[in-house]
Structure 1
Amino acid sequence: MQRICFVLHVRREKIEEYRECHAAIWPAMVEALQDAGWKNYSLFLQTDGLLVGYFETEDLVSSQEKMQAASVNAQWQHEMAHCFENLGETMPDQNIIPLTEVFHLT
């Protein structure tokens, strides 16, 4: 099982909107994540907009490919993109760059 941690930055003025969207996440999006093999997925958000994501998957590349193929994911990413800083022309999920794990206590 791969453990993936990543960071993104939510625009300060969009923090409340971002929280509200995730409090009412689309059931089809949850299903797509589960079908793609994302497990134990959490998002943590600081008041300054720092977003830390964590999930586990058997195969990151395969999970990302499955999400890219899910039409609901494209819709969700489009809806969320305006909430983030520094995306350029990409969608939020294309900016998931796994952090290097340096310690793990089991």
Structure 2
Amino acid sequence: MSGYAVRDGAARRFGFVVNVRPEKRAEYLALHRAVWPRVEAAMHENGLRNYSIFIADDTLFGVYDYVGDDYERDMARVQADKTSQEWWAHTGPCQVPFGAVAGVTGWREMELAWHMD
């Protein structure tokens, strides 16, 4: 994942998309109204900043900035966090891949089409 460099290379911005199961939409939104502090801490400790998730109908769009120097290493640390794994056990069943792309099982990285500072 390459992301898009913003602010003179100080951060890389990433965008992702996934659908939410219509019958799980309310549950997903309720979970995110009270995100577990350790989940946020794991992301923050590993360089994620300015993280937002938007929803339109049953499609979720997430965007964040990455401020570290080894994205793959830092994302592996987030993946290894036990509390984050438990969180995903709750949020994962609420999601279904966006579009028909072979091998994609969750959030799908989007390509930046335009950016303005």
Residue 81, structure 1, aligned to residue 92, structure 2: yes
Unpaired runs of 5+ in structure 2?
Answer: 1-10, 99-104
Q: Which of the two has greater strand per residue?
A: 2
**Distance across 2 between alignment mates of 1:70 and 1:55:** 19
Residue 66, structure 1, aligned to residue 77, structure 2: yes
Per the alignment, residue 44 of structure 1 pairs with 54
Larger Rg computed on CA atoms: 2
Per the alignment, residue 21 of structure 1 pairs with 31
Q: Flag the structure with more relative contact order, 1 or 2, with Cα contacts below 8 A and sequence separation at least 6.
A: 1
The 1:36/1:96 distance shift into structure 2, 3 A limit, reads: farther
Q: TM-score, normalised by structure 2?
A: 0.76
Unpaired runs of 5+ in structure 1?
Answer: 88-93
**Distance across 2 between alignment mates of 1:23 and 1:9:** 18
Q: TM-score, normalised by structure 1?
A: 0.83
Number of residue-to-residue matches in the alignment: 99
**Distance across 2 between alignment mates of 1:54 and 1:63:** 17
| 3-state SS in 1 of match to 2:13 | strand
